[in-house]
Structure formats: structure tokens, C-alpha cells
Amino acid sequence: MPLTPDSNPCPVCAAARDYMFTQRVLGRHDVAYFQCQGCGLLQTETPHWLEEAYSQAIADTDTGLLQRNLEHASFLNLLLQVAFDPKGRFVDVAGGYGVLTRLLRDRGFDAWWADKYCNNLFAIGHEASEGLQAQALFAFEVLEHVTDPLAFLRTEFARYGCGSMVLSTLTFSGSAPAQGWWYYSLESGQHVSFYQPRTLQRLASQLGCEYTRVHDGLHLLMARPLAPWLRRVLRSRRLRSMFERWFWSRRVLPSLTWCDHEQARQRLRGAEPATAPP
């Protein structure tokens, strides 16, 4: 098939897009992939198979879910204490089963859960209400699921009065990765957008944020620039591990585990469930 431009402009930078290849998704849909000539964003054609793909919110192939949450909780234990007010509020905007929210609350952070597509199993009673004001948002393994990332980020920032986000999505550089790349998630059909660091940099500039690449899978959009020393620490696995262990040993914030236990008992006795105040 010849390389012909896609008729839809890139949702990040509005540049034209070129056809790259076609792959079979969910074992039955032949799907075209297009790459932006400007920011490098790679996307599927308009996804018409998503209702089928999301018959269950978490794909069976996502065997790394728990390990990722443990790693993200350790990373955030460091970042939230050095780059934000650790006593502030934080929202996981696509919180899945609530694992990360629970882990962060166990570490003493006032973390809240939100997710339109998944049931909250581990952070019940800590669903973020409309109007909650947050210091930072988390969107782990989210951007690859959305067709208009700029609109998604603008909406979430406006909803929580916030301009900083910690996000994970596996990035690539240059031309589109070869067909069959595992991150295309052809079996689940849920991944429709794929990013380069320069794509995320363009998103950050559109939102008035500073972009920091921690590594290929972890990225920061910050309302204020990070200190140079902190950026070096975050990008070094060795230094990051040292600081994470040190902050974990300090345990400056009291865990919210018992407090949440008491709130759960009150709810079970018929009291109103906890919601985050504005």
C-alpha cells in the first residue's frame, strides 16, 4: 500500500500524517497506523473496535500491573516529598482498581481515585469528587488509550485545578516501531496512540508545562521547573533508588491505613461515605 497522508490532522500539533502500515487488531480488524510528520505521534485509524476491546477494563495481557504500581509508589514517595507539598492532595485520574491510591495512602499521602471505566476495589471511599483541587495528577498507562491526548490533559488539568502530571507510557524515537512490537497490544486492541519524547515535549509546551523524561516509560509534565539536581536524581536509577530508600526510612508522613480502616467501619455502620472536599 503506498504511503498516503491521513485526512485527519495530528491532534497534538495539527500536522499531516503519513500511512505507515496495517496490522490485525483483536485477531479480526485490519487497522491502519499513521505517523505525524511534525511531532512524531503514531496512531491507529479512528478506532471503531473500542467497545469490543473494553469488554473488560483491564486486559488479561497486563500481567505487570501490580509490579508497576509498586514501582510507581516508590518513585512517587520520593517525588511528592521533594517537588510538592507532601501534605497536599493528589489524584490518580485513571486509577484502575485503586491499587496505587491505596499504596500511596498507606505511605501517608492524601491520594484520591478516579476512573470512568473501572471498578474501584482497593480505595473505596476515596473517590475524587468534582471540584477537588489537587497538587498533581497521575496517569499511568493512560495516554496510549486516548485518541486526543491534548484534549484529555486539558480536561483533567481543568477538572482538578492542576498543572502537573506524572504519567507513564512507553516511548520510541524516530520511525514507527516494527510491526508486532509488543506495546501495540494487538491482542487487547486498547492501545491506539504511541508517543516519542518530542511528542510529549510538544504536549507540554501546548499546556504551559515543563517536560522531563525520567526514562522511556516515565515522564513528568510540571507546572514549575524542577531543580537541576532533582532532575539528575530522577534520571539516575542508582541515585533514585538511594533517595527512595532514604525517604522510605524517614516515614515523615503518618500512614493513613488505620484512619481509612476506621472510615470504612463507619461507612459499614451506615454513615455517609468519605468524599474529598473541594
Residue with cell string 521547573? 225
Q: 4 falls in which pLDDT band (50, 70, 90)?
A: low
Show the domain range for 84: 65-171+195-250
All three cell numbers of 43 = 496512531
Asked if the structure places residue 180 within a domain, the reply is no
Q: Measured between alpha carbons, how far is 152 from 121 in angstroms, rounded to an integer?
A: 24
Asked if the structure places residue 179 within a domain, the reply is no
Asked if the structure places residue 20 within a domain, the reply is no
Report yes or no: 3 and 37 within 8 Å, Cβ to Cβ.
Answer: no
Q: Over 70: is that where the pLDDT of 1 sits?
A: no
Residue with cell string 496505587? 100
Give whole-number Cα distances, 130 to 105, 111, 241, in Å: 20, 15, 36
3-state helix, strand, coil in the chain (%, to 5): 35, 20, 45
Asked if the structure places residue 115 within a domain, the reply is yes
The more confidently predicted of residues 42 and 270 is 42
Residues near 127 by Cβ (< 8 Å), separated by ≥ 6? 112, 113, 114, 120, 275, 276
CATH number, domain with residue 81? 3.40.50.150
Q: Measured between alpha carbons, how far is 135 from 24 in angstroms, rounded to an integer?
A: 41
Amino acid at 145: H
Asked if the structure places residue 142 within a domain, the reply is yes
Collapsed DSSP state (helix, strand, coil) of residue 104: helix
Q: Pick from 106, 172, 185, 108: which is nearest to 145 by CA? A: 185
Indicate the pTM of the whole model.
Answer: 0.90
- Residue 185 CA from chain centroid, whole number: 17
Asked if the structure places residue 138 within a domain, the reply is yes
Measure the CA dihedral 84/69/130/254, to 10°: -50
* DSSP secondary structure code for residue 129 in this structure: P
Number of separate domains in the chain: 1
**In terms of C-beta density within 10 A (0-12 exposed, 13-18 middle, 19 or more buried), how is residue 218 classed?**
buried
* pLDDT tens digit sequence for 135-183: 999 999 999 999 999 999 999 999 999 999 999 999 999 999 999 999 9
Burial annotation 43-61 (CB, 10 A radius, 16+ → b, else e): bbbebebeeebbeeebbee
Q: Over 80: is that where the pLDDT of 64 sits?
A: no
Collapsed DSSP state (helix, strand, coil) of residue 246: helix
Asked if the structure places residue 157 within a domain, the reply is yes
Q: Pick from 6, 3, 7, 8: which is nearest to 148 by CA? A: 8
Asked if the structure places residue 276 within a domain, the reply is no
Average pLDDT, the chain: 91
Q: What pLDDT score was predicted for residue 130?
A: 83
Q: Pick from 203, 185, 250: which is nearest to 41 by CA? A: 203
Collapsed DSSP state (helix, strand, coil) of residue 96: coil
Q: Measured between alpha carbons, how far is 185 from 61 in angstroms, rounded to an integer?
A: 8
Q: What pLDDT score was predicted for residue 255?
A: 86
